[in-house]
A and B are shown apart, each in its own frame.
Chain A
Amino acid sequence: MDFLFASVRKDLSRWTQDRVALLTWLGIPLLIGTLITSLVDNGGTPTGVLLVADEDGTFFSGAVVGAFSQEQLGDLIIVEQVSGEEGELRINDGEASGFLTIPEGFQDAFLNETPVTLTLKTNPAQTILPGIIEDITEILLDAGFYAQRLIGPEIKSIMDASEDGTPSDAFIAGISVTISNKIETITNKLTPLALEVEIVEPPPSEPVPDYALLFLPGIALMAVLFAANSLAADYWVEREKGTLRRLVSAPNALMSFVTGKAVAALCVMVAVTVLVLLAGFSYHGVGWSKFLPSLLWVALGGVGLFAWFAAIQMLLPNQKGANLITTILIFPLMMVGGSFFPLAALPEWIGSVGRLTPNGFIVDRLSVELTATNAWSIDIGSWMTSIAITVSGLAVGALRLRTGFARR
């Protein structure tokens, strides 16, 4: 055990001296991840600012302003009341999505059925929000037109009575009955055929996955692939240094040496994965109960990739060729294995092939873990498969060490 710990310490000490490599393993995936996520995910519900200059200051103009803040519309549009001058300045500076001016005399014109103009200036630099504000303004005006057609005289009576003082109870009751009768009459004509509508909502156990979140497993595996390939080259480095030759002449040292390298690789994989997953979990708001299984799954997979990259490199005739082959290998692996595009977004046959690649296998199960309701959703068979892949890779590497790789 002493030599195992010594081997782990030795490799960690040597590997961590190469800070550029560490930055590369993390920097490239995080950069690509940030770019992809910002392209796919716009950061939640957009909100726009509507500037309103209410020059009328009446009940009706206030009703129009208030309409923009009702229910879900209020989540989308923030209404700010401003003066006409300030509104002009701010919309010209692009500080808002729209600037609505309600002119003085708006309420009188509405009640007297005389023309009135509402001015809406929109921000040309934005597309969606100004369009929404424009549509809502038109809908409000249409609603006002129909309300005026239907109960215009009653509204005018209420306004006149208000100007004369507090209306009597009898007046209010009469007006209410009149309005109610009109609405009831028109409702019978407007109510469409009775249809039963069943609203089917997705069950709470199947939340709609965040599309940008599907990139996280691929990004994590990209970091792990870079690290695995780089660390696997250390067997060739040790061979060229002559330390492998000295090692195979020592008793009982080979298995501890190989295991030590695997444990050191596991430590590196854990460090790399923790950083990537921390960023991903924080950004996407993934439940922290999934952090540990995700970390273990990716780190274990990383050691498996390290073991097999090392085994492949040791089968090749020289260091340069070994590095070249595995470096060439990781790019198609990343392409079909879900690092650049989520497996679910790939054409079906490519996705099927991708799931069969070692990194695709890890990405696929990690996606399951991240999007499932409960933590520890990766099945036991997948864990056993990953362990088997790792152990077999280490065994092939150890065998190659014994059968001549250590000699130079």
Chain B
Amino acid sequence: MLVVEHLVKQYGDFMAVDDVSFEAKTGAIFGLLGPNGAGKSTAINCISGLLAPTAGRITVSGHDVIKEGKAARRSLGIVPQELALYEDLPAVENLRYWGKAYGMRGKELEDRVATVLEHIGLVDRARDLPKEFSGGMKRRLNFGCGVVHEPKVLLLDEPTVGVDPQSRIKLFELVEAVRDEGACVLYTTHYMEEAERFCDSLAIIDRGKLIATGTVAELKAQLGARDALQLSGVFPADTTRNAIDALSSDMPDLEILSQADDSLLLTLSSASHHLPKIFAAISGAGGSVSETSLRSPNLETLFLLLTGSELRK
């Protein structure tokens, strides 16, 4: 189990992670979602011991990562976003090396290496050098190096960035297999559909702050049945806002998430039914709509809703 309590990481005046707390349970995949620069990697670096937190507490399998760093790290496995392999060492040697780095040896190590090679589908290529592998094979080996020591907590830092669809599916299967073996998986991504597909629970982070947490179902419930309506065109600042606000009597859950001179983001339920009234209001306010995008409720919409709220502050 991984518990993060009031984690803060500050660089001078810049708050990279601001009072973030969450709990990832054993035998489950916990998704940490957020756009690039949201603070996900900083949080991962603090958990893995690469960075010292400014404040807060992190425990891995009950061990404090600061006070009991070695014990905590012994339970951790990391699959970094970018490949972390010795491309000039055979695949099997890579696995052995990282197994030994976590104290494995002898038959235990050899058995585990054989199992991992089978899981990642590289038994036939075990003696080959990774520099001769395809991108997908390297990704699988990269994953294997992170799990060879059977970690209780596995950190996956955007593992599918730049990965082809076939390899991505294979990676999902590998992650789910690790989860099914009883590990706690922390999965960071900015692909909402990935998180929605197989994360048991989620935390959404933006600008260093945790803005939502819960299961996918719980988070969707926060959104209700509201759609996200993205409009492009001309939107005079004051008159547009007044015109939209005037519609609230007919559309009580209508909300402006963000507004600029050339874009407007709204949320409301059954948005498709209200489009004519909204267009008329904008036109009456001296604006015009050139492009419309309507999204049904999902995590992407929720993220827009939540980060939009932040933007409005």
Contacts and interface: CB of A to CB of B under 8 A. Distances in A.
A and B bind: yes
Interface of A: 2-3, 6-7, 10, 13-14, 17, 241-243, 245-253, 406-407
B50 A250 contact: no
B78 A246 contact: yes
Contacts of B97: 6-7, 10
Contact of B83 (A2, A13, A241, A407): A241
Interface of B: 45, 48-51, 69-71, 73-74, 76, 78, 80, 82-89, 93, 96-98, 100-103, 105, 145-146
A249 B76 contact: yes
Contact of B84 (A6, A7, A17, A245): A245
A250 B73 contact: yes
Contact of B86 (A241, A251, A253): A241
A176 B50 CA distance: 105
Given A6-B97, A249-B78, A252-B70, A241 B85 contact: yes
Nearest to B81: A242
Contacts of A253: 101-102
A249 B105 contact: no
B132 to A, nearest CB: 13
B248 to A, nearest CB: 49
Contact of B145 (A2, A6, A246, A248): A246
B86 A242 contact: no
Nearest to A406: B50
A303 B81 CA distance: 34
Nearest to A238: B86
B117 to A, nearest CB: 18
B49 A249 contact: yes
B83 A10 contact: no
B50 A245 contact: yes
A13 B69 CA distance: 31
Contacts of B101: 3, 6, 246-247, 250, 253
Contact of B100 (A2, A14, A17, A242): A2
B122 to A, nearest CB: 18
B88 A249 contact: no
B74 A251 contact: yes
B145 A407 contact: no
Given A6-B97, A249-B73, A252-B103, A17 B80 contact: no
B221 to A, nearest CB: 36
Given A6-B101, A243-B86, A245-B80, 11 more contacts: A3-B103, A10-B86, A13-B88, A14-B88, A246-B101, A246-B146, A248-B50, A249-B48, A250-B73, A250-B98, A252-B103
